Amino acid sequence: MNYEIKFLEKDAIEKVENDDAAKSMIDKDNLILASVFAMITPDNNVLDKWNVNYFNGETGELTNFLVTHESVTHIETSKRVHTTEVKSIDRSNVAIPITKILSSAMDKAEIEYPHEPNKVFITLHHNDEYKNECWTITLFSTNLFLYKIKIDAITGKIISSEVKHLLK
């Protein structure tokens, strides 16, 4: 799948944190940066928007902002989504840009994943298992196979990869 990256995750986070309305919500509810998410599809292969998610440790709610070059929009605050602690993303631990991460993931997928991806999910989050910030790239195919790659956000090293069928 061909794709083009026009908007970086770090720019989306900065845009949220510099937006007066979003900043007010983040400060008022003592929210922490929990994850950053984007999706690429054959219909929209340009990465030009991100969902930036903030977690409220007291209520367990997740607040989602859709961020583009032009705007920051509060999409929703979902009811309790986590019963366990969510750790904040430490932005200083995100050294490898999404451009290199996605390129590395797609190169690995060409070797290990014999299916044409229909959707690509990109998530940056803190991973408790690896005790570090982690990119998770998940490729979905129309025949219900998925390929999940976890990449260390500091080193760019592929931590794990696996192919699964959704019905197994």
Domain range summary for the chain, segments of one domain joined by +? 4-37+48-78, 91-165
CB burial of residue 25 (10 Å; 0-12, 13-18, 19+): middle
User: What's the confidence (pLDDT) of residue 82?
Assistant: 65
CA 14 to the chain's CA centroid: 15
Mean of the per-residue pLDDT values of the chain: 93
**CATH label, 91-165, candidates 3.10.450, 2.40.160, 1.20.120, 2.60.120:** 3.10.450
User: What SS3 string covers 83-145?
Assistant: CCCCCCCCHHHCCCCHHHHHHHHHHHHHHHCCCCEEEEEEEEEEECCCCEEEEEEEEEECCCE
Q: Look at the pTM and tell me if it is higher than 0.85.
A: yes
pLDDT in tens, 37-86: 999 998 889 999 999 999 998 888 999 999 999 999 999 999 876 667 78
Rounded alpha-carbon distances, angstroms, from residue 67 to 50, 52, 119, 130, 134: 5, 7, 20, 28, 21
The pLDDT value recorded for residue 8 is 95
89 pLDDT more than 70: yes
